[in-house]
Amino acid sequence: MSKTNVAKRYAEALFQIGAEKETIDFLETELTTVKEVFQTNEAFLQFLQHPKVEAEKKKQLLNEAFTGFSKDVLHTLSLLVDRHNESIVPDVVDHFITFANKAKGVKEATVYSVRALLDAEKEEIENVFIKKLNVKTLKINNKIDPSVIGGVRVKVGNTVYDGSVKGKLDRLERQIARAN
């Protein structure tokens, strides 16, 4: 089974537990912190992925690092260690957030722009896409990309809405190439 499918199964199981206990938002907050630690602390990750370090020592480190976290999150991390799947923790978190967002009617969008968007601009984009996508909430992640030249490019899931100057120039170039 692929690591993506394994991560999805763990995420779904944890999501179902959170749904039963009505702790989805709480678990999402904790898992986001876990993912941040896994992605920013190289020594921590190397220790957890080292094949010669005993599982009990790895679990002890996790319990110390995430003191005060819910038993459900700590248990999931322990299971991942027991099954030598420490490397998929960020993927488990991503899948959990996807399940949580779907349940809450939330979509995530990445907005590429030349500069950081002002709050009013984010709100305007959010309002347009909430209507367009028929969702309750849209979480916007603004990424700076000088190649867009102007305007914005919005990516929601696998769909890209390109209103950038670069996108318009690329489309114009293709039209000219087809005409010749």
Please compute the mean of the pLDDT values over residues 12-41 and round it to a whole number: 96
> Is the per-residue pLDDT at 2 higher than 90?
no
How many Cα atoms occupy the beta-carbon half-sphere of 80 within 13 Å?
28
Q: What is the mean pLDDT of residues 17-36?
A: 96
> Which pLDDT band holds residue 3 (cuts at 50, 70, 90)?
confident
For residue 1, pLDDT beyond 90 = no
Position 113 scores a pLDDT of: 96
| Nearest CA-CA partner of 15 in 135, 104, 108, 78 | 104
pLDDT in the model for residue 62: 95
Which two three-digit tokens encode residue 122? 């984010």
Name which residue leads in pLDDT, 141 or 3: 141
Q: How far apart are CA 151 and CA 22, in angstroms?
A: 40
**Considering all CA atoms of the chain, what is the largest pairwise distance in Å, rounded to the nearest integer?**
68
The beta-strand segments (E) located in the chain are: 106-113, 137-144, 152-156, 159-162
Query: Which of helix, strand or coil describes residue 63?
Result: helix
3-101 domain in CATH 2.40.10.10? no
Amino acid identity of residue 8, one-letter, is: K
Cα separation of 91 and 96, whole Å? 8
> pTM score, two decimals?
0.76
Over residues 93-135, the pLDDT tens digits come to: 999 999 999 999 899 999 999 999 999 999 999 999 999 999 9
Q: What is the pLDDT of residue 33?
A: 97
Residue (of 125, 148, 147, 153) closest to 138 by Cα position: 125
The confidence score (pLDDT) of residue 11 equals 97
Q: What is the pLDDT of residues 73-100, one digit of tens each?
A: 999 999 999 999 999 999 999 999 999 9
Average pLDDT over residues 170-174: 93
- Rounded mean pLDDT of the chain? 94
